[in-house]
Structure 1
């Protein structure tokens, strides 16, 4: 059994309002040469939670941290000008909170983080600041938003 240390939130980096499913993401990841979808869960625009890769399998969503993490992705993350933006719908926010609560019960020691929280602290001040993000994903501060779960 895997020791889960992180629950990592991602966005699909797609334009707000465009519908995509776990099947679409599975195809994108296979086109990149992966074995299949790298995320364990996908949250659609309507709040539907789809299973991606089974939890018992190592994901493919945060380089160097997949062995001990669960990956969740919400559909969206870009505005109409293709700039990073928190585009989560109310239904996505509700579904994400519910899923995170379930996963925290299952993995109480796991920290909830965004993909961007795995960036390097370039100036070594102990804080990963926006200018240091390797990615904006998930386009909101997941660590802060879900610190009380």
Structure 2
């Protein structure tokens, strides 16, 4: 079992209408990734898609994947592509459920956003993950 030091929250930085198939295709064909960027992806209606087993590193944050778990919601931008927390109530509930489960399994792991890693210039997940986590637990 991997030692998990970070539970990383993401957004896809796409409209909420983006599809799981389209996101997977982009990673494969445009980025050339063999593994997905997240372990779990949450649709606006709350449906969760397991993209990768927790035991397998994803492509979530370059240089930090060996010890991280990654969950993302579809969305995270406004109509002009600017960062905006667009999580629906269903996505919020599912993200909380997933993070609580992972924290129970890895109590020493920090809950952070993609943007919280050194050198990352993205706004992802378009909200402050640390503040969100503190506010709900």
What is the TM-score normalised by the length of structure 1? 0.85
Greater CA radius of gyration, 1 or 2?
Answer: 1
* 2:28 corresponds to 1:30: yes
What is the aligned partner in structure 1 of residue 2 from structure 2?
A: 2
Q: Is the 8 A contact 1:27 1:36 kept in 2?
A: no
| Structure of higher RCO (CA pairs closer than 8 Å, 6+ residues apart) | 2
After TM superposition, where is structure 1 displaced by more than 6 Å over at least 4 residues in a row? none
* 2:89 corresponds to 1:119: no
What is the alpha-carbon root mean square deviation over aligned residues?
A: 1.4
Shift of 1:59: 1.1
Q: Is the 8 A contact 1:78 1:85 kept in 2?
A: yes
Which consecutive residues of structure 2, in runs of 5 or more, have no partner in the other structure?
none
Distance in 2 between the 1:33 and 1:48 partners?
Answer: 26
Which consecutive residues of structure 1, in runs of 5 or more, have no partner in the other structure?
121-132
What is the aligned partner in structure 1 of residue 60 from structure 2?
A: 61
Shift of 1:2: 0.8
What is the aligned partner in structure 1 of residue 123 from structure 2?
A: 136
Aligned residue pairs, count: 135
Alignment of 1:8-47 (within 5 A): 8-15=8-15, 17-21=16-20, 23-31=21-29, 32-47=31-46
